[in-house]
Amino acid sequence: MTLSFTPVIGLEIHVQLGTKSKIFCSCSTDYIGAVPNTNVCPVCLGLPGALPVLNASVVEMAVRTALALRCAIRETTRFHRKNYFYPDLPKAYQISQYDLPVAEHGLLDIGDASGRKKTIRITRLHLEEDAGKLVHSASDGRLAGAMESFVDYNRGGVPLAEVVSEPDLSSPEEARLYVARLRQLVRYLGVSDGDMEKGSLRVDANISVKVSDGRWGNRAEIKNLNSLRALERALEYEFRRQSDLLASGGTVVQETRHWNDGEGITIGMRGKEEAHDYRYFPDPDLPPLVVSAEMTSRCAAALPELPWEKEERLSNAYTLSADDIAVLCEHRDIADYFDAVVRNGASPVRAANWVRTEVLRTLNETGRSVKDFPVAPESLAMLLSHIDGGSLSTTAARSVFAKMAERRTSVESALAACGVSLGGATGDLLATVIRKIVEENGDVVKTIRDGNDANGKKRKFLQGLVMKEVRGQADPSSVASELQRALE
Ligand code: ADP
Ligand code: MG
Ligand code: ZN
C-alpha cells in the first residue's frame, strides 16, 4: 500500500506595530539606520529602578487588528515576564503576555485565485516588546572578534503584536496566502508597514506531517523566513524532509530549525523549548491592562473598509475579473485611486487595465506613493474617456499619461506638450496618409490583393506604417477600416 502525506502548518507572526515611541518608554522606534544605542533610556536598557509605562497607542493598534481578525477582546489582561538569558535582552526577561492575551479566538479567511475559500482560526493575539540586536560589524567599521559581538539596543522595546494561528493550514501555498492576507490587513489598518525584508513582519512556521496509516510526526518550527517566497520554499523543503523520514520508518525530532535561503534547506538549531523553561510570572511593575467595552466599540466603529469588504464592494459594483479585483485591492490607496477614476466617469474595465499597468508601473519606477502621484484620478478619467470616445488612440494616450506623470499638469497642457490633438488623424488627413503608404509599398499591396495574406500579417504591417506616420494619433479601428477600403 502506498502511503500519502499531509502537512499540518500553524504560524506565529510577529507584527511590528508602527508607533512613534516604544511600548514601555518614550524612546523612538525608528531604529533602521540609527546610530547604535542612541534610541535608549533606563527603561528599555533595563536599568534598576526604571519603571515601564504602557503606550496607549500600542493597545489601540492591537485592538483594531484583533477586531479585524474577528477575535474576542479580553477586558482584563496582564503582562508577564518571559525569562531567558541572551545578550540582546538587557533585563534578562522579555515583557510579554502569557495566559491572558489581549485577544483570542479569531478567524481569517484566505482564498486562492480559483476562488476557493478557507477560514483559518486565530488562536490569540498578544503584545510584547522586541529585543535588541547582536551585530558583528559596528557602524564605525570595527569588526567583532571571533568570540565577540556588539549589541545594539535601539530595537529593544519596540512594540510587537504576535498573531498565532491554529494548525489549520494544509499546504505551503495556503501558508503563503495566509501571511499575505495578514500583511495586507495590517497595512490597510495602518498599524504596520508589514515589510518582511525589514523585519516588520516576522514569521515562525510550525509544520508536522500526518501519514495515511495514522501516524503523525512531531513538529519543527522554522525561523528566519523573511519573504513570502522563503516561507513557501522552506515549508516545501520541510514537508519533503519530514515525509521522507516518516516514509522510511524514522521519527521527526521536535526542534527549532533555521532556513538557509542560499542553499534552500532547513538546519536543526536547538531542541524546542517548553513554556515552563521560561518561568513566566506576572510583571509586578505593570498593572493589569483593562480594555473597556467602550474602547473596543470605539475602535470597531473606526475601522476602515477591510480588504475583503473592499473586494466584495468592487466586485459587486463592476464586472471585473477576480484577478483584477485582487491586484487593485492589494493596497488600500490603489483601490481608492481606482475607485475615484471610475467615479469620475472612466469605464471600469479600462480604468482597471490602466491602473494595473501604467499607474502601478509608474509608481514602481518612481518609488512614489499614490498620495503624491501627479496624475489625479480626475485627469486619468478624462484621458480614458477620450480613448473611449474614439478621439485619442491608446498609444497617444500613453505618451500623454507619461507627460502628466512627470509633473502635475492638466490633460490639455499634456496633450499640447505631446503635440497631440484630440480627434487625431481622421477624414482627409487619414485618407492622404493611407494613400501615401499604399503607393510606397506596392509590392506588399500586391501580395495582399493577390490573396496571399491569409494570416493578416501584411495588412498589420501597413497599418503599423500608417500609425507611425500619424505618430499614433488616430483611432486604430478607423485606420483598419480605411485601409481595408483602400486595398479593395
Ligand atoms: P509553543 O507554545 O510550543 O510555541 P503553541 O501551542 O503555542 O506551542 O503553538 C505554536 C504554533 O504551533 C501555533 O501556530 C500552532 O498552530 C502550531 N502547532 C501546534 N501543533 C502543531 C502541529 N502538530 N503541527 C504543526 N503546527 C502546530
Ligand atoms: Mg509559541
Ligand atoms: Zn527607552
The closest of 393, 389, 418 to 403, measured between CA atoms, is: 418
Task: Tell me the longest C-alpha to C-alpha distance in the chain.
Answer: 97
CA dist 210 and 216 (Å) reads 4
- In single-letter form, the type of residue at position 91 comes to K
**Which atom of ligand 1 has the smallest separation from the CA of 275?**
2
- Residue nearest ligand 1's atom 15 by CA: 10
CA dist 294 and 283 (Å) reads 26
Q: CA neighbours within 13 Å on the CB side: how many for 158?
A: 26
pLDDT at position 273 is: 67
**Which atom of ligand 1 has the smallest separation from the CA of 206?**
26
Neighbouring residues of 12: CB distance < 8 A, sequence distance ≥ 6: 162, 163, 164, 165, 203, 204, 206, 221
pLDDT by residue for the chain (488 residues), tens digit each? Answer: 689 999 999 999 999 999 999 999 999 999 988 889 999 999 999 999 999 999 999 999 999 999 999 999 999 999 999 999 999 999 999 999 999 999 999 999 998 667 789 999 999 999 999 999 998 877 777 777 777 889 999 999 999 999 999 999 999 999 999 999 999 999 999 999 999 999 999 999 999 999 999 999 999 999 989 999 999 999 999 999 999 999 999 999 999 999 999 999 999 987 666 666 889 999 999 999 999 999 999 999 999 999 999 999 999 989 899 899 999 999 999 999 999 999 998 889 999 999 999 999 989 888 888 888 889 999 899 888 888 877 777 887 888 888 888 888 787 777 777 766 666 655 666 777 888 899 999 899 998 998 888 888 899 999 999 888 877 777 777 788 888 888 88
CA dist 479 and 488 (Å) reads 14
- The CB of 204 under 6 Å from ligand 1? The reply is no
- The CB of 207 under 6 Å from ligand 1? The reply is yes
Q: Which long-range contacts (CB under 8 A, 24 or more apart) does 426-429 make?
A: 426/474, 426/475, 426/478, 429/470
Q: Could you tell me how many residues make up the chain?
A: 488
CA dist 183 and 163 (Å) reads 11
pLDDT at position 82 is: 96
Is the CB of residue 312 less than 8 Å from the CB of residue 329?
A: no
The helix (H) or strand (E) run that includes residue 72 is: strand 72-73
**Which atom of ligand 1 has the smallest separation from the CA of 216?**
23
pLDDT at position 272 is: 63
Predicted TM-score (pTM) of the model is: 0.84
Cα 88 to averaged position of ligand 1 atoms, centre (Å): 25
CA distances from 179 to 182, 205, 257 (A): 5, 11, 19
pLDDT at position 391 is: 76
- The CB of 219 under 6 Å from ligand 1? The reply is yes
The helix (H) or strand (E) run that includes residue 239 is: helix 228-247
Give φ, ψ of 448 to 5 degrees.
Answer: -65, -45
pLDDT at position 412 is: 78
CA distances from 113 to 297, 306, 354 (A): 34, 19, 21
- In single-letter form, the type of residue at position 377 comes to P
- The CB of 242 under 6 Å from ligand 1? The reply is no
3-state secondary structure of 410: coil
**Which atom of ligand 1 has the smallest separation from the CA of 164?**
14
3-state secondary structure of 11: strand
CA dist 252 and 238 (Å) reads 11
Enter the C-alpha cell of residue 264: 534552500
Mutate to test the pocket of ligand 1, among 166, 206, 253 (most ligand atoms within 8 A of CB): 206
Please return the burial class of 417, using the count of CB atoms within 10 Å of its CB with bins 0-12, 13-18 and 19+: middle
CA dist 314 and 332 (Å) reads 12
pLDDT at position 47 is: 93
Cα 296 to averaged position of ligand 1 atoms, centre (Å): 28
3-state secondary structure of 196: coil
- Beta-strand relationship, 103-111 and 93-96: unpaired
pLDDT at position 429 is: 67
